[in-house]
Structure 1
Amino acid sequence: MVHEELFARLNEVGYKNWLKAGYCLMKVKDGLCGFVDNEMRDFHNVVINSNTILLRGTTCQSNCRPKNNQFQSVCALCSEWKREIVKHHTKPYSVINWGNCRPWLWPTEPWELAKAFMPRGQTGVTRAEHCDAAALLNLLHLCDHFSFINHCLVTEVIRYRNELMHSCEMRVSDQWMAHFQKSLEQLLLQLRHVPEVAIAAQQIQEMLSVDLSVHVPGVDSVDGANRVGIESISLWETELLRESLKDLLNTDEHEGAPIYADLQKLQMLHRFLSGNKDLEEQFGNELHSIQVLEDQLQSLNSNSGQQ
């Protein structure tokens, strides 16, 4: 059977919970995309119309670009955009990921403005639907345009999302799921007037209220059972694992310098993927990258121990 190993993973309650929680975050992202796009267009217009320098409609003539995560603008226009971003940032003294941005597009592209309020790794992202839930949630949290949303509820969901994606064992408990569900419900209730968010909330409720059973084509099942096609589960498992990998590798590597405190996480993730033949084949390139980083981290550990 093609998905034999996936069936085996789904027999583990903690892993099934991990997949279900990840699916819910994917639905959060789907619900927020259109809303965030519209709001950022409004925010972009407000920033321009309230600033006489930006209202002139000029564009960058100096090819201003961030270097890594630093941005010292050359021209007066980009300096003014930078000032506006800092002014509207709810945590202006924290790290602002200038490396996400293409400053010369700030005057014309609202999404380039949005990326300054997101986690790093968004440089090539040009639309909301290309983001993950974490990017959109951080935008809601860090841009004061969204001050009408309770930020405590946003940060709570971000915390659960990070715990989920940083769980290299890929397992969460029933108790964790109950708290996670409550935090999602409270946040989405704030945006219940948005049709896409209301749909997402319903889909999340349906997913969290049933035991995730698998429907195998051609095999009879109990009438009335809640079923999910194995192909669908496989697709969202792949998407979630890729997001988790991206998260961990971005966390462990800062401007080219790995953080060796997370060696154990890397090793656990490596063991999980290589311990499942289907995942080992599917994530071969990523496993190679992890192995290279593991070797770097072990070398750093070894050298620091000798000093």
Structure 2
Amino acid sequence: MVREELVVRLNDREYKNWLKAGRCLLILKDGLHPFITQHARAFHGDLLNQNSLLRKPCETALCKPRGNQLSSACRACAQWQAVILRHRRQPEATLNWDNCSPPNWRTDHWELAKAFMPRGQGKVKGAEQCDASALLNLIIHCDCFHFVDPKFVREVIRFRNELMHSCELRVEDEWMRHYQTSVRKLVRQLGHIPHMATAGKQIEEMLSVDLSICVSGLDRMDSAALEEVESDSVSQWETSADLISQWEAELLQERLQELLQAADDDAKTQDTQQLKRLGGFLQANRDLGERFSLELKAINQLEARG
């Protein structure tokens, strides 16, 4: 009934900080994606209206990046490429052409947006499928978001990377205080956006909640004592446990996908070591090991290859 492994994890204050900080990023992502979609679609439409050459279809339907290079595009796709380069907020920034399918730039606003996002977005079809990092990077790299101050966005990206790259999945209280300040500044800047206003309230609730309250009293009860607990109390615990477990799984899934892709692409020593440590954490927690059994198998296969 009561998930013993989850109770133990929630009794670790720094792991709980990691979970709450990560949950705030998921809330932020949900608040951002309608806003991002609206502006990316409007940006795409404006480009088509301003430049009739962009309305011409790909001449071969075969233009595609090689690695992260797009050097042999047809005239139509080369025109799109030139326009994309002109709309970087940071002229020196590298664009990730390997995210894109150039023949679709004319018809799909999201194929255009992906050029300004981190690597690994090739199969992503819309903002709702992106993590917070991908959406925030789009904001600081594409000038259709010129009205958003990049300072606070960069701060949140930095904290997000520190959080997701934490080998122990734990962050200290001091880190958490600085993180909260940065997230609040970003939310305040975007507070005029309806979905972001809602997200801001949910983030404040998450930052203030003590997740261990959800398990207090029940984690030390034996089965006989549990029978004496009112059924609605037990039901409330089960609902809370299911919800917290779902949040935790979303965060771990995001980190696993990021590490598996990085290890598969580059086999970097640092990524491989982090993947091994994350795999060890999942195996040490039976409930997580069962939930992520396929990912653990993939980790084992990568280790065998190495």
TM bucket, shorter chain:
0.7 to 0.9
RMSD: 2.3
Number of the residue aligned with 1:287: 296
Aligned: 1:9 with 2:3: no
Which residue of structure 2 aligns with residue 106 of structure 1?
105
Query: TM-score if structure 1 supplies the norm length?
Result: 0.88
CA deviation digits over 1:75-108, x for unaligned, max 9?
1110011111111123444432212111111111
CA apart distance, 1:287: 1.6
Query: Does structure 1 retain, via aligned residues, the 8 Å contact 2:89–2:146?
Result: no
Residues 139-218 of structure 1 mapped to structure 2, 5 A cutoff:
139-212=138-211, 213-214=213-214, 218=231
CA distance in 2, matches of 1:59, 1:164: 42
Q: What residue ranges of structure 2 are gaps of 5+ in the alignment?
A: 219-229
| Partner Cα distance (2:199, 2:20) in 1 | 14
Query: Residues 110-152 of structure 1: CA distance to partner in whole angstroms, max 9, x if unpaired?
Result: 1111111111221121121111111111100111111211111
State the alpha-carbon separation in 2 of the partners of residues 91 and 253 from structure 1. Answer: 29
Structure 1 position 235 matched with structure 2 position 235: no
Give the match for residue 43 of structure 2: 43
Q: What is the distance in 2 between the residues matched to 1:294 and 1:76?
A: 44
Specify the alignment match of 2:223 in structure 1: none
Quickly say closer, same or farther: Cα 1:58–1:208, change in 2 above 3 A.
same
Measured after TM superposition, the shift of residue 29 of structure 1 is 0.5
More contact order relative to length (CA 8 Å, sep ≥ 6) = 2
Q: Give the alignment of 1:245-284 within 5 angstroms.
A: 245-254=256-265, 257-284=266-293
Q: Residues 135 and 90 (structure 1 numbering): CA distance in 2 closer, same or farther, change over 3 Å?
A: same
- Measured after TM superposition, the shift of residue 263 of structure 1 is 3.9
1:23 alignment partner in structure 2: 23
Q: Which residue of 1 aligns with 2:221?
A: none
- Moved >4 Å (runs of 4+): 225-228
Change (3 A) 1:280 1:227: closer
C-alpha deviation, 1:219, in angstroms: 5.9
Which sections of structure 1, spanning at least 5 residues, go unmatched? Answer: 298-307
Aligned to 1:244: 255
User: Identical aligned pairs, as a percentage?
Assistant: 48
Q: Note the C-alpha offset of 1:207.
A: 0.9
Count of aligned positions: 290
Shift of 1:38: 0.7
Q: Work out whether residues 266 and 294 of structure 1, in 8 Å CA contact, stay in contact via their aligned partners in 2.
A: no
Residue 164 of structure 1 contacts residue 172 of structure 1 at CA under 8 Å; is this kept in 2?
Answer: yes
Judged with a 3 Å threshold, the aligned counterparts in structure 2 of structure 1 residues 121 and 53 are, in CA distance, closer, same or farther, namely same
Alignment of 1:52-63 (within 5 A): 52-54=52-54, 57-62=55-60, 63=62
- Give the aligned residue type for 1:44: H
